[in-house]
């Protein structure tokens, strides 16, 4: 065998070793970070090459503002999923809270109350509405052991009917202008008010999940409900408050969206149950409970809005956009299951 053959064989083995190292590196990154970083990179590369306006400052600012509503809804869904629950009533919470908020403001303004008082009471009424719906969900799931899917689906139907019955399906106009001027279009030091409020809630949620006893209880109950109960955790009370907190966060998201629309709408929020679950799944939250990080959920929500924004720039039909989101959800769950298998293999 001449020296050229030996050199070729050595180069082949070197190439195989390099490919193996790259493969192992990709596998390690995938196991630790999940599927989301790959989705983000692919989406950014494709949309940047396909459109001229995707990476502009104006468009990215729009994406940031539009992401706020889904980020909040996804955080609400996350804490429910952590406890092995599910909230399909998030969408109708948006509708009922929007109607309650707008009708309260309009009624108080018509009675001669100051705009500031009307706005304050309207916001409180809207958040009280979603918290009451969350409490009803939590009571059914925790006390009567109704499966979360059945309970929240039934509540979704009830609340949707009430929202449409209250308004007759027509928008509610006449809210004080200051409400939309600040919560919908206002800016603080050049940053959109919805973005500022969402960032504050992200910080608060991070503290709740990672630095409080209640946050640890979320993971304990989701990991093993029986073991959590035997360790002294009041699982029923924790589950009840989980749905109440989810209602509060959803209420804030509703206020921001209602302010942006400048009207109370009984048909908003239809897409948020699916999209919030998709954001959680893409972000690495297990639908079986006990697993998930807040950072992944926030990035998952931003990724979905990023993809929607890109599809709008590409003038893709809105119905096809629903197809894409559904496909992404399936891919995320499949990829996450594969990641868990790899994790188990690497730990053996």
Residue 323 is predicted with a pLDDT of 86
* pLDDT(227) > 70: yes
pLDDT band at 281 (very low <50, low <70, confident <90, very high): confident
Residue 258 is predicted with a pLDDT of 96
Please give the helix or strand (H or E) that residue 192 lies within, else none.
strand 191-192
Residue 55 is predicted with a pLDDT of 85
Segment among 13-22, 106-115, 131-140 with least mean pLDDT: 13-22
Residue 129 lies in a domain: yes
Q: What is the pLDDT of residues 118-157, one digit of tens each?
A: 999 999 999 999 999 999 999 999 999 999 999 999 999 9
Domain of 112, CATH number, reads 1.10.3470
- Mean pLDDT for the chain overall: 88
Direct distance between the N- and C-terminal alpha carbons of the chain, in angstroms, rounded to an integer: 42
pTM over 0.85: yes
Residue 226 lies in a domain: yes
Range of the domain at 161: 35-343
Q: What percent of the chain has pLDDT over 70?
A: 89
Segment among 12-16, 212-216, 228-232, 310-314 with least mean pLDDT: 12-16
Residue 19 lies in a domain: no
Residue 136 lies in a domain: yes
- If one compares 146 and 281, the residue with the highest pLDDT of the two is 146
Q: What is the pLDDT of residues 49-72, one digit of tens each?
A: 988 888 888 888 889 999 999 999
Q: What percent of the chain has pLDDT over 90?
A: 63
- CA dist 4 and 2 (Å) reads 6
Residue 10 lies in a domain: no
Residue carrying structure tokens 């007759």: 168
Residue 162, token pair as written in the block:
């009430």
Q: What are phi and psi of 317, to 5 degrees?
A: -55, 140
In sequence order, the β-bridge partners of residue 264 are 172
Residue 31 is predicted with a pLDDT of 66
- CA dist 235 and 216 (Å) reads 12
- CA dist 58 and 171 (Å) reads 29
* pLDDT(174) > 70: yes
Rank 76-80, 173-177, 338-342 by mean pLDDT and report only the highest: 76-80
Residue 301 lies in a domain: yes
The predicted model gives 105-116 an average pLDDT of 94
Residue 158, token pair as written in the block:
């009830």
Residue 9 lies in a domain: no
Q: What are phi and psi of 109, to 5 degrees?
A: -65, -40
DSSP letter for 263, please.
S
Residue 221 is predicted with a pLDDT of 96
Q: What is the pLDDT of residues 183-205, one digit of tens each?
A: 999 999 888 999 999 999 999 99
Residue 32 is predicted with a pLDDT of 67
Residue carrying structure tokens 């990080």: 293
Residue 23 lies in a domain: no
Residue 13 is predicted with a pLDDT of 47
- CA dist 240 and 136 (Å) reads 9
Question: Residue 272 in contact with residue 66, Cβ under 8 Å?
Answer: no
The number of domains in the chain is 1
The predicted model gives 203-227 an average pLDDT of 95
SS3 171: coil
* pLDDT(245) > 90: yes
- CA dist 80 and 147 (Å) reads 13
CA distances from 210 to 66, 150, 214, 221 (A): 27, 30, 9, 15
């Amino acid at each position: 065998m001449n020296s050229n053959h030996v050199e070729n064989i050595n180069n082949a083995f070197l190439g195989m070793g390099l490919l193996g190292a790259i493969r192992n590196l990709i596998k390690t990154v995938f196991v630790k970070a999940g599927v989301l970083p790959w989705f983000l990179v692919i989406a950014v590369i494709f949309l940047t090459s396909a459109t001229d306006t995707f990476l502009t400052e104006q468009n990215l600012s729009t994406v940031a503002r539009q992401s706020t509503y889904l980020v909040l809804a996804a955080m609400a869904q996350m804490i429910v999923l952590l406890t092995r629950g599910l909230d399909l009533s998030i969408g109708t919470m948006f509708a009922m809270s929007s109607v309650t908020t707008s009708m309260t403001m309009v009624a108080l303004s018509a009675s001669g109350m100051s705009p500031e008082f009307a706005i304050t009471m309207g916001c409180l009424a809207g958040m009280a509405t979603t918290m009451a719906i969350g409490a009803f969900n939590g009571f059914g799931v925790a006390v009567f052991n109704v499966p979360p899917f059945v309970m929240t689906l039934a509540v979704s139907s009830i609340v949707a009917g009430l929202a449409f019955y209250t308004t007759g399906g027509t928008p509610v106009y006449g809210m004080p202008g200051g409400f939309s001027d600040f919560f919908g279009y206002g800016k603080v030091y050049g940053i959109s008010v919805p973005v500022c409020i969402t960032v504050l809630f992200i910080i608060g949620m991070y503290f709740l999940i990672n630095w409080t006893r209640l946050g640890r209880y979320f993971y304990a109950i989701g990991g093993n409900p029986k073991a959590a109960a035997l360790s002294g955790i009041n699982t029923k009370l924790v589950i009840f408050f989980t749905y109440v907190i989810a209602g509060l966060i959803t209420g804030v998201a509703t206020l921001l969206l209602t302010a942006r629309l400048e009207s109370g709408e009984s048909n908003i929020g239809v897409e948020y149950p699916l999209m919030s679950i998709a954001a959680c799944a893409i972000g690495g939250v297990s639908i079986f409970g006990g697993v998930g990080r807040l950072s992944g959920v926030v990035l998952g929500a931003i990724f979905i809005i990023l993809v929607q924004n890109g599809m709008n720039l590409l003038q893709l039909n809105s119905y096809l956009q629903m197809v894409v989101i559904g496909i992404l959800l399936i891919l995320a769950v499949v990829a996450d299951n594969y990641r868990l298998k790899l994790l188990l293999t690497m730990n053996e």
